[in-house]
Structure 1
Amino acid sequence: MTAPPQVGRVVAIDWSGARGRRYAGIAVAECDAGAAAPRLVAGPGGWWSRSAVFDWLRRSLDRGPALVGIDCAFSLPFAVSRRYFADPARATVFDLWELIDRVAAGEPDFGGGPFVEHPDYGGDFWRSGLQPDWYRDPHRRAEMACRADGLGSPQSPYKLIGSRQVGKGGLAGMRMLHALRRAEPERVAVWPFEDPAPGRTLFCEIYPRLFLKQTGFGQRKIRDGAELDAALAALGSCPLGMVGVVSDHDADALVSAAGLRRLASLAEAWEPPGLDPPARRIEGWIFGVGGAGLAGLTPPAAPAPPRCR
């Protein structure tokens, strides 16, 4: 197994596919290599839009390469999306992103609504009411592996019902990644479709519940600064020292930044057993999910307490 890439700065983004101009559901956190506590990055005027995240990411490229995890699906289940291409065997995720961006081009802030509403593609999404008879809840292989490993139950991107639906956020994320690759082709790469390369900021798909599982919180939410620091300590991070209530979105971003930094040092996370050629080509993978399960992706013993100021 090859050695994992060297990772310095790590960014984690809790994402949103909502329509609007700015969203409480977006949070950005970053941390440096080592054990320093992750920190929240404030959006313009205290709020993030997806376009503001895009602008911040472009500017941050000047600070050197980083590993950026985004909490959204980077692709659609190929069992359904294959019908969008004349030659499915040769289609790649970048072809899918180009299609989605072309169909949704009129939607501001990287919104994906027009794709969901398009007569050629919208019929694949469960958009309202009770589950239709034709809907089979398709999942990508990474989502099924996540469930099999006991790491959580990611929703299908084709299910747009309920508070946990992720489809619109995924479409918006794909449009933003497509724009980043188009704007910065020499400085951006997206895992696992592209390999890590010196000088390039690498983007990967993350699932915050996976990191919360590693901290012992399981399905519980982090409510305040003390619980946040306990979760960070379980991931080998110094405490942040926040006081009072912590929002779900801020907690997800901060814990994901520390968890992604820790997992990135493990070769198994970069080469999970289930990452087959179709996943590398078009379906993608959730970073940290693997056939060996959670125990195979975390050190056998709790990390030593970090040296903190």
Structure 2
Amino acid sequence: MMQRFTRFACADWSGAKGSRHPGIALAVCDAGNAPPRLISPPGKAWSRQGVADWLLAQDDDLLIGFDFSFVPPFMERGSYLPGDDVPTSARAFWAYVDHVCDDADLGAASFLEQHHRRHFYFGAADGTKSDYLFWRQCELLNKSSSGKASTVYDAIGASQVAKASFAGMRLLHQLRDAVSIWPFDPLPKRGKVAVEIYTTIAARAAGVAKGRSKIRDAIGLDLALQALGSKPHMPLNRYTDHATDALITAAWLRNLAGNPQFWAPDALNFEIAATEGWTFGVI
């Protein structure tokens, strides 16, 4: 059944404020070994809504990965935002985030900065950073193997995933009836499926050395794609982190989608699937 996907895609995401984001890249590859290719935005740069519209317009058996956390931790403390009156299931929480945010282009900066400010670490003025750091079960498992895991409560630094993740939750709420979102939804026999991915896992699988997860040149990109069973890429105008991450991860999804082990991690149970979800590739 896992071989049913006909195309594979990756969206390198952004939580930045505004409506057009150079940090978003969208790559797609067909089944087989043809190289992944970038999808050009309907303008100078992608908007988050533009990515949603593109995905909703697809009508084949597409598997797409998004590089943001689909939901905050729940299992560790029994709540996404302890002490606040918020939903206790992923789908209801996506609806809540979308309801309280009126930021442009599915943005969610106001969620962190205004609606639930006390849960997020923005800097030294907030006190001890470790008091804010909590992880999902899949992140704890990935942390034990790779030594690093991000948390949606950390809102400081260029690599933070907080704003991107809550913006992504607004996207998931919009997609919820048209796209199966794994593992919150069971894997269907046909249709589009979205999974959470971590591009560093794809980079490691492609042979990119630890500490050098970003590729910014044609030779490095082709070597990574070759390790994932892909033919060489068509030359790009610019080799940005976002573009190469999306291309490599699309090829990586194609390479792994047929392996049942990645759809049934040992530690993933019904309660985790309903509340926290899972990062595809963590087993």
Relative to the length of structure 2, the TM-score reads 0.92
Q: Which residue of 2 is the match for residue 22 of structure 1?
A: 20
Which whole-Å CA distance do the structure 2 matches of 1:136 and 1:215 have between them? 33
Distance 1:82 1:243 in 2: 42
- Contact 1:226/1:241 (<8 A) preserved: no
Match of 2:110 in 1: 114
Provide the C-alpha distance between the structure 1 equivalents of 2:89 and 2:225, rounded to a whole number of angstroms. Answer: 37
1:143-154 equivalent positions in 2, closer than 5 A: 143-150=139-146, 153-154=148-149
Structure 1: runs of 5 or more not aligned: 291-309
Report the identity percentage.
38
Q: How far did 1:87 drift?
A: 9.2
Aligned-residue RMSD, C-alpha:
2.0
- Say which SS state the counterpart of residue 246 (structure 1) adopts: coil
Q: What residue number does 2:228 align with?
A: 235
- d(CA) in 1 for partners of 2:40 and 2:86? 44
Structure 1 position 107, deviation (Å): 1.2
Matched residues in 2 for 1:178 and 1:231: separation? 33
Q: CA deviation at 1:239?
A: 0.7
Q: 1:65 to 1:41 in 2, by over 3 A?
A: same
Q: Tell me, what secondary structure is at the counterpart of 2:105?
A: coil
Q: 1:11 and 1:196 mapped to 2: Cα distance?
A: 17
Give the corresponding residue for 1:34. Answer: 32
Local SS of the residue matching 1:81: coil
- SS of 1:29's equivalent in the other structure is strand
1:83 counterpart letter in structure 2: P
**What secondary structure does 1:154 align onto?**
coil
Q: Which residue of 1 aligns with 2:158?
A: 163
Tell me the CA shift for residue 85 of structure 1.
7.2
Tell me, what secondary structure is at the counterpart of 1:46? coil
Q: Does 1:207 align with 2:203?
A: no
Alpha-carbon distance, 1:127 to partner:
1.8
TM-score by length of 1: 0.84
**One-letter amino acid of the counterpart of residue 66, structure 2:** I
Letter in 1 for 2:187: P
- Residue number in structure 2 paired with 1:83: 82
Counterpart-to-counterpart distance in 2, 1:35 and 1:155: 32
In structure 2, the partner of 1:260 is 253
Confirm or deny: 8 A CA contact 2:13 2:67 kept in the other structure: yes
Q: Which residue number corresponds to residue 305 of structure 1? A: none
Identify which of 247, 268, 278 aligns with 2:271.
Answer: 278
Paired residues, what number? 277
CA distance in 2, matches of 1:87, 1:163: 28
Q: Determine whether 1:173 maps to 2:158.
A: no
Deviations 1:212-232 (A, max 9, x none): 101221331212111101000
Aligned counterparts of 1:87 and 1:130: Cα–Cα separation in 2: 26
